[in-house]
Amino acid sequence: MTFGCTELTESGFGVDFGEFSEIKSWLSHWFDHTLLINEDDPERALFHELHEKKIVDLRVLPNVSMERTAEFVFHYVDGWIRQQTNDRSFLLEVECRENDKNSGVYRPAAH
């Protein structure tokens, strides 16, 4: 994640990463040892059954490509950081990595 700000705090921070426990929890809920599937996955019912049996920890997203996952993270974190800082800080981009060779970046178009 790359953050920006309109001004620094008195302590000289754009973003105080020590205040990110909620973001860490949210990211952990969605991505730590979970199974991500597209909402239109033809085997969705099977994955739900596996989730109910506690075989997998299922998460359903509109699209699980790295680019769309980065966009999903961007919108949550950007909204959160703007609310926490009265729009002083904001998110510029998010990069999600599946592995060393596959990643996706989401950076919204300039307004």
As given in the structure block, the two tokens for residue 94 are 């998010």
Mean pLDDT for the stretch of residues 71-84: 96
H or E segment to which residue 75 belongs: helix 66-84
**Nearest one of 30, 20, 33 to 80, comparing CA atoms:** 20
Do 93 and 105 contact (CB within 8 A), yes or no? yes
Look over the chain and give the mean of its residue pLDDT values, rounded to a whole number. 94
Residue keyed to tokens 């000289």: 12
Full-model pTM: 0.89
Q: Is the pLDDT of residue 105 over 80?
A: yes
Q: Is the pLDDT of residue 110 over 80?
A: no
Domains of the chain, residue spans:
22-63, 65-111
Number of H helices and number of E strands within the chain? 3, 5
Mean pLDDT for the stretch of residues 81-106: 94
| Alpha carbon distance, N-terminus to C-terminus of the chain | 19
Output the pLDDT for position 21: 93
Measure the CA angle with vertex 96, ends 19 and 17; round to 5°: 15
Output the pLDDT for position 6: 94
Question: Residues 4-51: pLDDT tens digits?
Answer: 999 998 888 888 888 899 999 999 999 999 999 999 999 999 999 999
Mean pLDDT for the stretch of residues 84-108: 94
Output the pLDDT for position 79: 96
User: Where are the strands (E) in the chain, listed by range?
Assistant: 2-5, 35-38, 58-61, 89-99, 102-106
Output the pLDDT for position 17: 86
